[in-house]
Chain A
Amino acid sequence: MNDSSLYRYSRHISLPQVTRIGQQKLTQSRVLIVGLGGLGSPVALYLAAAGIGQLMLVDGDQVDLSNLQRQIVHNTAQIGQDKVISAQTRLQALNPDIQMTTYSYRLEPEALQQLITTVDIVVDCSDNFTTRFAINAACVRHGIPLVSAAVQRWNGQVTVFLPTYSQSPCYACLYPNQEEEGEVCSETGILAPVVGIIGSIQAVEVIKVLLNIGESLCGKLLLLDTFTLQWRTLKLPKDPACLVCSSVNFIREIR
C-alpha cells in the first residue's frame, strides 16, 4: 500500500479490527452488486469509498427522473444513461484506485452463475423475485456469501446467508412459495432514506464477512419500520425441507 492509500484509508486502518492487513484484504476483494437502484446506490458508494478492489456492477436499466429521489449514485445529468455506466462514473470519481466491470443488461441465470463463481461475496440489491432466486441458487451451489435486503414504503429488511455454514438458511428458506410476487415500489412507494439505512447495513455486512470479523446477520433477519422507528431481529432457522439448500453439495472452486 502506498502513502496515499495509507492516508485515504487511515480511518479504517486505525480500527483495531481492520488494520492495514484488513484494508489490504479489502483492496484485494471482488464484490458483485446486482442492482444499482435505491439499495445498490449506498452499497456501491460505501464499498467504493472503502476501497473494495474490484466491483462488478449488474443492472439492465437506465436512469429515470423518478429514480433520483432515492438512487443517490446517479445524478440529473445522467438521465437516460445505463445505470451501470452512470454509477461507474460516480464511483470512479470517488475512488480512482478501484476497478470496476459493468454489465448493462439483465444477466441470464447461466451467466449470473458464471459471474458469481468469480467473486468473494454477492450483494443482492435487485428488484424482482426471479433475479433474487437465481442469485440465491447460484450462491448456495458455489458456497458464496450473499447479503440480501429489500425495502418498501417505510420498511426494510436485511440478512446474510453463508452457504458454507451448514446451519445457514438461504433466501428460499424465507420464501417457500416462490410464485408469490411481492409489491414493487413503483406501486407502493418508498421513503428515500430507508434505502440509505438498509443499503448501508448491507455494506457493513459485506466488509465484516470479507474480513471475517464481528457477528454477522447470518441466521437472523433484521427488520426496520421507520414510521414507528422500531427494529426487530428475528432468529431465522434453516428450513430442513428447503428445495434449494437442504441437500446441496456446493461446489467450491479453488481460487
Chain B
Amino acid sequence: MTIVVKFFGSLREEIGNHEVKIKAEQPLTVAQVWAQACDEVPLPHHIWTAVNMNYVEQNTLVQDGDEVAFFPPVTGGSDEN
C-alpha cells in the first residue's frame, strides 16, 4: 500500500521536505509510518499526528491511500522579553 506523509511547520524545516510517499507490505501504525519515512528515528511522543485531517493517537493503524501528517505543537504566545 502507498501512504502520503506530510510534515508541517518546523518539522518541514528539519526534514527539508513537506511531502514524501512510502510503500508498505503490511499495515502500519502512524508511529511506524514516521519511522519508515524518517530513517527509523522514533516518533517523539509530543508530535501531533493526523490521518486524513483527523487528529489521532500515534498507535492508530493507517490504511492504503491515507494521508498521514505530522505537526510540531506550537506553544509560544510571543509574550517573552
Binding site for B on A (CB under 8 A): 35-40, 59, 61-62, 64, 66-67, 70-71, 124-129, 132, 149-157, 174-175, 177, 180-186, 188, 190, 195, 221, 223, 225, 227-228, 230, 232-237
Contacts and interface: CB of A to CB of B under 8 A. Distances in A.
Query: Majority SS of interface residues in chain B?
Result: loop
B32 to A, nearest CB: 21
Contact of B76 (A124, A127, A180, A230): A127
Given A155-B8, A184-B76, 7 more contacts: A149-B77, A150-B74, A151-B78, A174-B73, A190-B76, A225-B12, A234-B53
Given A67-B81, A233-B53, A235-B54, A152 B76 contact: yes
A232 B79 contact: no
Interface in B3-19: 8-10, 12-13, 18
Given A153-B10, A232-B8, A235-B55, A177 B45 contact: yes
A234 B55 contact: yes
A36 B80 CA distance: 10
Contacts of A228: 12, 18
B50 interface: yes
A221 to B, nearest CB: 7
A80 B46 CA distance: 36
Contacts, number: 121
Given A153-B9, A234-B53, A234-B55, A36 B74 contact: no
A70 B75 contact: no
A35 B79 contact: yes
B79 A40 contact: yes
Interface in B55-81: 55, 69, 71-81
A61 B81 contact: yes
Contacts of A174: 48, 73
Given A35-B79, A37-B79, A182 B74 contact: yes
A185 B80 contact: yes
Contacts of B71: 223, 232, 234
